[in-house]
Amino acid sequence: MRTAYIEAVATEKIYRSRGFATSVMERVAEEIQDFELAALSPFSVAYYERLGWELWHGPLFIRRGEELMRTPRDGDVMILRLPRTPILDLNTPLSAEWRAGDLW
Protein backbone atom coordinates (compact mmCIF):
# COMPACT_ATOMS: atom_id res chain seq x y z
CA MET A 1 0.00 0.00 0.00
CA ARG A 2 1.15 3.52 -0.68
CA THR A 3 1.73 4.72 2.88
CA ALA A 4 2.45 8.15 4.33
CA TYR A 5 4.83 7.60 7.24
CA ILE A 6 4.94 10.42 9.77
CA GLU A 7 8.53 10.58 10.99
CA ALA A 8 8.42 13.14 13.79
CA VAL A 9 6.27 15.88 15.24
CA ALA A 10 7.59 17.88 18.17
CA THR A 11 6.62 20.97 20.10
CA GLU A 12 9.09 23.02 22.08
CA LYS A 13 8.41 22.54 25.79
CA ILE A 14 7.24 26.10 26.49
CA TYR A 15 4.56 25.79 23.75
CA ARG A 16 3.16 22.37 24.73
CA SER A 17 -0.47 21.80 25.73
CA ARG A 18 -1.72 24.59 23.45
CA GLY A 19 -2.97 22.36 20.63
CA PHE A 20 -0.15 23.06 18.15
CA ALA A 21 0.77 19.39 17.59
CA THR A 22 -2.91 18.47 17.28
CA SER A 23 -3.39 21.18 14.65
CA VAL A 24 -0.34 19.94 12.73
CA MET A 25 -1.53 16.32 12.83
CA GLU A 26 -5.03 17.29 11.70
CA ARG A 27 -3.53 19.23 8.78
CA VAL A 28 -1.24 16.32 7.91
CA ALA A 29 -4.29 14.04 7.76
CA GLU A 30 -5.92 16.46 5.30
CA GLU A 31 -2.80 16.55 3.10
CA ILE A 32 -2.32 12.77 2.78
CA GLN A 33 -5.80 11.80 1.60
CA ASP A 34 -4.41 10.40 -1.69
CA PHE A 35 -2.38 7.75 0.17
CA GLU A 36 -3.83 4.36 1.05
CA LEU A 37 -2.66 4.43 4.65
CA ALA A 38 -0.76 6.52 7.19
CA ALA A 39 1.56 5.14 9.86
CA LEU A 40 3.76 6.37 12.69
CA SER A 41 5.54 5.29 15.85
CA PRO A 42 3.78 7.22 18.63
CA PHE A 43 5.23 8.88 21.68
CA SER A 44 1.83 8.25 23.29
CA VAL A 45 -0.76 5.76 22.07
CA ALA A 46 -3.55 7.56 23.95
CA TYR A 47 -2.68 10.90 22.33
CA TYR A 48 -2.90 9.54 18.79
CA GLU A 49 -5.97 7.39 19.53
CA ARG A 50 -7.95 10.55 20.27
CA LEU A 51 -6.93 11.79 16.79
CA GLY A 52 -8.32 8.63 15.15
CA TRP A 53 -5.12 6.57 14.90
CA GLU A 54 -5.27 2.85 15.69
CA LEU A 55 -2.64 0.64 17.30
CA TRP A 56 -1.32 -2.17 15.11
CA HIS A 57 -1.39 -5.42 17.11
CA GLY A 58 0.11 -7.85 14.60
CA PRO A 59 3.79 -8.71 14.17
CA LEU A 60 6.05 -6.17 12.48
CA PHE A 61 8.50 -6.87 9.67
CA ILE A 62 10.99 -4.96 7.54
CA ARG A 63 11.47 -5.88 3.87
CA ARG A 64 14.92 -5.63 2.34
CA GLY A 65 14.82 -6.93 -1.20
CA GLU A 66 13.41 -10.44 -0.98
CA GLU A 67 14.27 -10.75 2.73
CA LEU A 68 11.59 -10.30 5.39
CA MET A 69 13.01 -9.56 8.85
CA ARG A 70 10.84 -9.62 11.95
CA THR A 71 11.42 -6.55 14.11
CA PRO A 72 11.19 -6.51 17.90
CA ARG A 73 8.19 -4.89 19.55
CA ASP A 74 10.32 -2.28 21.28
CA GLY A 75 7.85 0.38 20.21
CA ASP A 76 4.36 0.69 18.85
CA VAL A 77 3.14 1.37 15.33
CA MET A 78 -0.16 3.10 14.71
CA ILE A 79 -2.11 3.53 11.50
CA LEU A 80 -4.65 6.06 10.29
CA ARG A 81 -7.29 4.82 7.89
CA LEU A 82 -7.72 7.11 4.90
CA PRO A 83 -10.42 7.18 2.19
CA ARG A 84 -8.39 4.72 0.05
CA THR A 85 -7.55 2.32 2.89
CA PRO A 86 -8.74 -1.21 2.14
CA ILE A 87 -10.30 -3.38 4.82
CA LEU A 88 -7.56 -4.13 7.36
CA ASP A 89 -7.14 -6.65 10.17
CA LEU A 90 -4.93 -4.96 12.78
CA ASN A 91 -3.76 -8.37 14.03
CA THR A 92 -2.11 -9.48 10.79
CA PRO A 93 1.58 -8.89 9.94
CA LEU A 94 2.64 -5.41 8.85
CA SER A 95 5.81 -4.71 6.90
CA ALA A 96 7.68 -1.67 5.67
CA GLU A 97 10.62 -1.26 3.34
CA TRP A 98 14.05 -1.01 4.95
CA ARG A 99 15.48 2.47 5.45
CA ALA A 100 18.43 3.92 7.29
CA GLY A 101 17.79 5.04 10.86
CA ASP A 102 14.85 3.89 12.93
CA LEU A 103 13.04 1.11 11.11
CA TRP A 104 9.64 2.07 12.51
pLDDT at 75: 79
Q: Which has more pLDDT, 104 or 7?
A: 7
Query: Long-range contact list for 89-95, CB < 8 A, 24+ apart?
Result: 89/58, 90/54, 90/55, 90/56, 90/57, 90/58, 91/57, 91/58, 92/58, 93/58, 93/59, 93/60, 93/61, 94/56, 94/58, 94/59, 94/60, 94/61, 95/60, 95/61, 95/62, 95/63, 95/68
> Is the pLDDT at 45 greater than 90, yes or no?
yes
For the chain, what are the domain ranges?
Answer: 3-97
What is the architecture, at CATH level 2, of domain 3-97?
Answer: 3-Layer(aba) Sandwich (3.40)
> Is the pLDDT at 15 greater than 90, yes or no?
yes
Global pTM reads: 0.87
